[in-house]
Amino acid sequence: MALLSEWPSDRLPLTAEQREHALEATNRAFANAVRNLQVDLGLEELFRKIYVPTACWVLENKPADTPLVVGINGAQGAGKARLFNLLEVVLSEGFGLRVAHLSIDDLYLTRGAREELAQQVHPMLLTRGVPGTHDVDLGLKLLSELKSAKDGQVTRIPAFDKSTDERFSEESWHEYFGAVDVIVFDGWCVGARPQPEAMLLTPVNELEAQEDPDCSWRRYVNQQLAGPYQQLFRQIDLLICLQIPDMQVVYDWRAQQEIKLEERAALLSEVRKPSDPLRIMSSAEIRRFIAHYERLTRWMLEEIPQRADLTFELNHNHKITQIHLRD
């Protein structure tokens, strides 16, 4: 597997010995998986040149006495969960750190709450995803609980079932046990800043032109982003950006996600009957769904790489083509 980019050689974090120790521990953790698959995935090269240095950079920036909050920003399908999983392995196996995960998707409002927003503010707020459709107070509470968690303490993190467009019942929530060293907080709009008012006036797609002609939805979303969401994003110590090549890949990658979601829902239905009807989207529904995200996605592509602490530029095949560290 040929790498298209690697960590800048003049900015390698920690010592060569520490990086090598983390690499060896990570390779041991993945050894069984590689043997079972019976294929050379090029994992060692990926870890050595990209993911181990990234984890070392996280560790290098961690205060001695408090948990570090790492934000990961990336459009739908960019690979946020994969990046978290790889960082978790390196940080835990290589350095013995305790790593917790919170996704902004975990904070989606229930469908009932969004139906109420749709009636009281704007019908487009029924669709989950944009600022205004998350429980920001819950996010602040969870980050506070994770930061202050002690050994033996249980932190319960909500989960959202995208196949039914509804939050899971509490008995299905995730549980994190004990104290935390690193909290990874990811999401498509994590770290985003509001747009200038003048940018809201021109629709970016047909959905906005037809269903938000007076800009009221756009203004509400932007006001939410400027207010409560900035309080949430100020909890982030380091911001990583997964920079996609263009808007079209969001549609392509989201379609791939929907296929996987349908496959997962089919497996789950064999062991439990869903309490709500499945809401797997067609191609046309995916395009409409993504149209809600397009404005902010385009704005983030323009704005976030300029100030993110670390940016991975991706190509159409999800491969990293450039790595940028903020000075």
pLDDT in tens, 57-94: 999 999 999 999 999 999 988 999 999 999 999 999 99
Question: Three-state secondary structure along 118-168?
Answer: HHHCCHHHHCCCCCCCECHHHHHHHHHHHHHCCCCCEEEECCEECCCCEEC
Structural contact between residues 194 and 295, judged by C-beta atoms closer than 8 angstroms = no
| Interatomic CA distance for residues 187 and 194, integer angstroms | 16
pLDDT at 252: 87
pLDDT digits (tens, 9 = 90+) for 9-56: 999 999 999 999 999 999 888 886 555 545 455 778 899 999 999 999
Q: Which residue has the higher pLDDT, 280 or 46?
A: 46
Q: Show the 3-state SS of 73-95.
A: EECCCCCHHHHHHHHHHHHHHHH
- Which whole number is the average pLDDT over 113-141? 97
Hey, what are 261's tokens?
Answer: 């979601």
Would you state the pLDDT for residue 133? 98
- What Cα–Cα distance (Å) separates residue 279 from each residue in 77, 149, 319? 18, 36, 30
Mean pLDDT of all residues belonging to the chain: 91
> Is residue 276 over pLDDT 70?
no
Residues 107 and 273: beta-carbon distance below 8 Å: no
For the beta carbon of residue 197, count every other beta carbon within 10 angstroms: 11
Does the domain made of 9-325 have the CATH classification 3.40.50.300? yes
Instruction: State the pLDDT at residue 274.
Output: 52
pLDDT at 317 over 60: yes
Tokens 């349908």 sit at which residue? 262
Query: Is pLDDT larger for residue 258 or for residue 107?
Result: 107
Q: For residue 77, give the nearest of 324, 297, 267, 302 by alpha carbon.
A: 297
Q: How far, CA to CA in Å, does 191 sit from each of 19, 74, 207, 238?
A: 28, 10, 25, 10
Name residue 325's amino acid.
Answer: L
**Contact in structure between 305 and 326 (CB atoms under 8 Å):** no
Cβ neighbours for 53, distance < 8 A, ≥ 6 positions apart: 7, 12, 13, 19
Q: How far apart are CA 175 and CA 100, in angstroms?
A: 10
pLDDT of 327: 85
Rounded CA separation 247/105 (Å)? 20
- What local confidence, expressed as pLDDT, does residue 43 receive? 79
Res 44: pLDDT: 84
**Which pLDDT does position 176 carry in this prediction?**
96
Neighbour-count burial of 136, counting CB atoms closer than 10 A to its CB (0-12 exposed, 13-18 middle, 19+ buried): buried
pLDDT in tens, 199-241: 999 999 999 999 999 999 999 999 999 999 999 999 999 999 9
Output the CA–CA distances (angstroms, integers) from residue 74 to 180, 211, 267, in the order listed: 24, 26, 28
What is the domain partition of the chain in residue ranges?
Answer: 9-325
